[in-house]
Amino acid sequence: MAGTQSSDQQNGDSTRGDWAEWLAGLRSSADPLGVRGLLERSARALDSARTPAQAAAALAEALEAERTRQRTGHEHLEALLGEWARTLRSLAPMLPDSGPGIAPPLLGPFPRRQALLQALISQSDDYQHALANHLECLTTLAEDCTTAYRDHLLEQTGDDTPIDPDVLMDAWMAVAEPRYEAWLAEPETQTRIAAVINAWSALVATLRELADDTLEAFGLPSARGLDDLAAELQRQRRRHRSEIAELRSEIRALKAQISAQSAPRDNPPQ
């Protein structure tokens, strides 16, 4: 395993760096679906354009670079997952509940751990697939916008006529914004976005569980332990609130009773 890692590092340091950067960008809570990043790259591409031809070319170039980045990232993630699976397979004979020809025992902690590790592989795959699917559609949308942008500029002016960069930017927004909003309104887009979020949730939940297992094995506090404490506090809080509500209700009833009793004295019959 260590040897494989070293060899990979020697062969693909630069692209792995790109992948890490790309993935880090997506992990950021500021841009979980990559929309903002794509918008920024398209705006940056238009920065130096001074003619319609330059603007269209710069956008096409930026999108091609994005596609290459996605492709490279996808290949590297495939490779990393493959390594991961190979490692788990090579470790499996050492664990008591697996191995060729051995039926996993029904009892004990190992089947659960194995199931989590197996789930992790399929969940990583699901997440990678859902994310790649979403980004592919987002990039395709951006390409459609670029084509429409080029056509729009050609209609307005010649290819090499110098134009104010602000006008180029205005035209890009006028073309891309309604297309983006229509794309977001498509049920297929919404389903793809939900698939990314659901796949990510499943993957992270399993990762958390494995991390908690490890921490607890070392006698360290785990997120699961903290969740348990929070739930206990919550039970106390709710009991407290319920008691206050009961007291208030009793006070209201008593006040009403007192008021009813004192009413005849306040308003004696004529």
- Site residues (CB under 8 A) for other proteins? 29-33, 35-36, 39-40, 43, 165-166, 169, 173, 176-177, 180-181, 184-185, 187, 190-191, 193-195, 197-198, 200-205, 208, 223, 226-227, 229-231, 233-234, 237-238, 241, 245, 248-249
- Cα–Cα distance between 121 and 161 in angstroms, integer? 54
List, in order, residues 6 or more apart from 212 with CB less than 8 Å away: 222, 223, 224, 225
Angle among Cα 205, 207, 210 to the nearest 5 degrees reads 110
Q: Whose Cβ is closer to other proteins: residue 21's or residue 250's?
A: 250
d(CA 204, CA 29): 14
DSSP type of residue 163 = -
Smallest gap from residue 177 Cβ to other proteins (A): 4
Contact 215, 221 (CB under 8 A): yes
Write out the H or E segment, with its range, that includes residue 97.
Answer: none
CB nearer to other proteins: pick between 20 and 229: 229
Work out how close the CB of 163 gets to other proteins at its nearest, in angstroms, rounded to a whole number.
14
CB of 1 or CB of 233, closer to other proteins: 233
Query: Is residue 161 a contact partner of residue 52, using CB atoms and an 8 Å limit?
Result: yes
Mapped onto helix, strand or coil, the DSSP state of residue 98 is coil
**8 A C-beta contact, residue 179 and residue 145:** yes
Could you tell me the smallest distance in angstroms from the CB atom of residue 77 to other proteins? 19
Minimum gap (Å) between residue 248 Cβ and other proteins: 7
Residue type present at position 17: G
Q: Residues 6 or more apart from 221 whose CB is under 8 A from it?
A: 215
Closer residue to other proteins (CB): 97 or 212: 212
Minimum gap (Å) between residue 238 Cβ and other proteins: 7
Question: Which residue, 89 or 241, has its beta carbon nearer to other proteins?
Answer: 241
Measured from the CB atom, is 12 or 37 closer to other proteins?
A: 37
Task: Name the minimum Å distance from CB 85 to other proteins.
Answer: 22
Comparison of 61 and 177: residue with beta carbon closer to other proteins:
177
Q: Closest separation between CB of residue 188 and other proteins, Å?
A: 11
Q: Indicate left, alpha or beta for 221 from its phi (over 0: left) and psi (-120 to 50: alpha).
A: beta
Cα-based angle 56, 62, 68 (whole degrees, multiple of 5) = 135
Alpha-carbon distance 157 to 150, whole Å? 11
